[in-house]
A and B are shown apart, each in its own frame.
Chain A
Amino acid sequence: MTGFSSRRVRAIFVKDLREFRRNRSLTVTMGIFPVLFSVQPLVTVLTFSSSASSALRHEHVLLYMLGIPALAPALVAAYSIVGERQQGTLEPVLATPIRREELLLGKALAALVPSIAVAYLVFGLFLACVELFAAPAVASSLIRLPDLLAQLVFTPLVAGWSIWTAMLISTRASDVRVAQQLAMVASLPSVAVIVLVALNVIPASLATAAVAAAALLLLNRLGLRLVSATFDRERLITGTR
């Protein structure tokens, strides 16, 4: 019996990336969130005067941008299984020697990689704009090393959790739109926690970060197992059960 195949994972990853890139409605919808989570804070920050910079020290504005990895990949991941099912392409794929774990991992990576790339890119652009155009006092209040590290560490963790949740929905849903809407709703608690930390309602301490990172790591590890357990070939192909 043959074992786990990284070649099959890569085949699904490459195929899904190509599919996402050429599916205009998906890329446009996915592009809304980076705009939403960067333009409004940027405008606010750029209009801040130096005298308002002390107020920024009590908030973590940069963390708002974790909303991008929380929401953007959910749309793609929610599409990944039910979208193939609706197109009629799932059955031929499942008729090959692919294991469900290989299929799910390939699809998760295809949602994760562009989401992380977009999130880091938007974050970098945001920082560059702040450095270049915001008042110096505002920029120094805003850009702090712990917040930068938090952004770097939590972007993949948040995106990963968002993807597994959306894929879980995608394996059970029978319509792409419904799956995407439910995935958005399922991502809202993550966004709420991010906002509460950004507003300092939940204190943004090292302990908070450590607990949150450990929890997300655990959830991401469980994610593949959970989605794999709910991935029912028979139901996906026949629509029964």
Chain B
Amino acid sequence: MSASNGLVSSGEEPSAPALSVDHLSKRFGGRVAFDDVTFEVGSGEVFGFLGPNGAGKTTTVRALGTLIQPTSGTAMVAGIPLMPENGVEIRQRISVMPESPGLYLRHSVTENLECFAELYEISDPAGRVERALDAVSLIDRAKDVCGALSKGLRQRVALARALLNDPEVLFLDEPTSGLDPVAAREVHDLIDGLRRRGVTIFLTTHRLEEAERLCDRVAILNTTLRTIGRPDELRDRLFTKTLSVRTAEPLPEPDRVFGGLAAVDGWRQDGATGYLLVVSDTNLAAPAAVRALVAAGADVLSIAESHHSLEDVYLKLIDDEAVGR
């Protein structure tokens, strides 16, 4: 997979990537966590890292966060080569928010954040803690003991903690895991806010609608990298374009109606009064199909381009792989 595939282009001189991963692998004894992974993440990009359980997403985050050592391959994290001797320097420039918030539950929100502000050796820790709490709308809960907070609020505290050092790259590992829809939406809004501020975000998630909504590009990992690109690119790459046609009555001779139409490569029945047209260009095929249907005296109920979600892409890739095994 090309490392620079689909990088967001601004039309200006491209800045150095925030993350550059080259043939990175990690094995635990005989077990492969992830293998031969290559990709780049542009500065200011929100990059989604998808995959089933055990695909190696969290291990990749830990390797890039210098928490564990990769077995082979190289990487640049926030412009610094990923090597054990650079661990402290890399960790100063990035932030990792693990799947579990990992808060000190007997400590208050402020006490938790103050400890981490000290660990990052931040000047004016009190001011930075206040700004981080403000960013996640938790100023009014600053004195609360973390053990008394809901799961969603704890996740917000963990996000505030991850923002303390103003990271160049923010790794979010399943940030909405286990949250109810309202709490998940709040976290989405926070991530959206960070994106607008130009923070580079590396987001691992199970939630495909989350990735589709938040990410500029996504990569699908299942030990090896299956694909990478913008969600719409992946859809185009994996699925043929189709038009879905519904009529009031079944067409007596559909082959005569759809055969030979401009930009229509084929068709198949989809229920008693439905037809799926495989097209090369929807802008050409849709008007041609409407004209042909009207000419054939059919009452057209609807004609629409079939939409494939990122979930369809994901399931197709994972299913294809399961069949291939």
Binding site for B on A (CB under 8 A): 1-2, 5, 7-8, 10-12, 14-15, 18-19, 22-23, 87-99, 233-234, 237-238, 240-241
Contacts and interface: CB of A to CB of B under 8 A. Distances in A.
A11 B115 CA distance: 6
B107 A19 contact: yes
B68 A238 contact: yes
Interface in B92-114: 92, 95-98, 100-107, 111
Given A23-B106, A89-B102, A5 B96 contact: no
B177 interface: no
A93 B28 contact: no
Contacts of A18: 106-107, 111
Contacts of A238: 28, 59, 62, 68
B68 A88 contact: no
Contacts of A11: 115, 118-119
Contact of A96 (B89, B105, B120): B120
B33 to A, nearest CB: 9
Q: Interface centre among A23, A87, A96, A237, by most B CB within 10 Å? A: A96
Interface string B15-52: 00000000000001100000000000000000000000
Interface of B: 28-29, 59, 62, 65, 67-69, 85-86, 88-89, 91-92, 95-98, 100-107, 111, 115-116, 118-121, 158, 161
B29 A15 contact: no
Contacts of B118: 7-8, 10-11, 14
A87 B96 contact: no
A87 B69 CA distance: 23
B173 to A, nearest CB: 10
A2 B89 contact: yes
A237 B68 contact: yes
Q: Which 6 residue pairs spanning A and B have beta carbons closest together?
A: A11-B118, A22-B106, A95-B96, A96-B119, A92-B102, A88-B100
A91 B61 CA distance: 12
B150 to A, nearest CB: 17
B101 to A, nearest CB: 8
A12 B121 CA distance: 12
Contacts of A96: 91, 116, 119-120
Contact of B98 (A1, A10, A91): A91
B63 to A, nearest CB: 10
A113 B201 CA distance: 41
A87 B121 contact: no
Contacts of B115: 11, 14-15
14 contacts: A1-B88, A1-B89, A5-B121, A8-B118, A15-B111, A18-B106, A92-B102, A97-B120, A97-B121, A98-B119, A234-B67, A238-B59, A238-B68, A240-B28
Contacts of B111: 15, 18
B67 A87 contact: no
B88 A99 contact: yes
Q: Interface centre among B28, B111, B118, by most A CB within 10 Å? A: B118
Q: Interface centre among A19, A89, A95, by most B CB within 10 Å? A: A95
Given A15-B104, A87-B105, A95-B91, 17 more contacts: A1-B89, A7-B121, A8-B118, A8-B119, A19-B107, A22-B106, A87-B104, A88-B98, A89-B103, A92-B102, A92-B116, A94-B67, A95-B65, A97-B88, A97-B92, A238-B62, A240-B29
Q: Interface centre among B85, B104, B107, by most A CB within 10 Å? A: B104
Contacts of B65: 95
B144 to A, nearest CB: 14
Given A1-B89, A15-B104, A23-B106, A93 B68 contact: no
Nearest to A15: B115
Contacts of B59: 238
Nearest to B98: A91
A99 B111 CA distance: 21
Nearest to B62: A237
Contact of A88 (B67, B102, B107, B120): B102
Q: Interface centre among B29, B92, B100, B106, by most A CB within 10 Å? A: B106
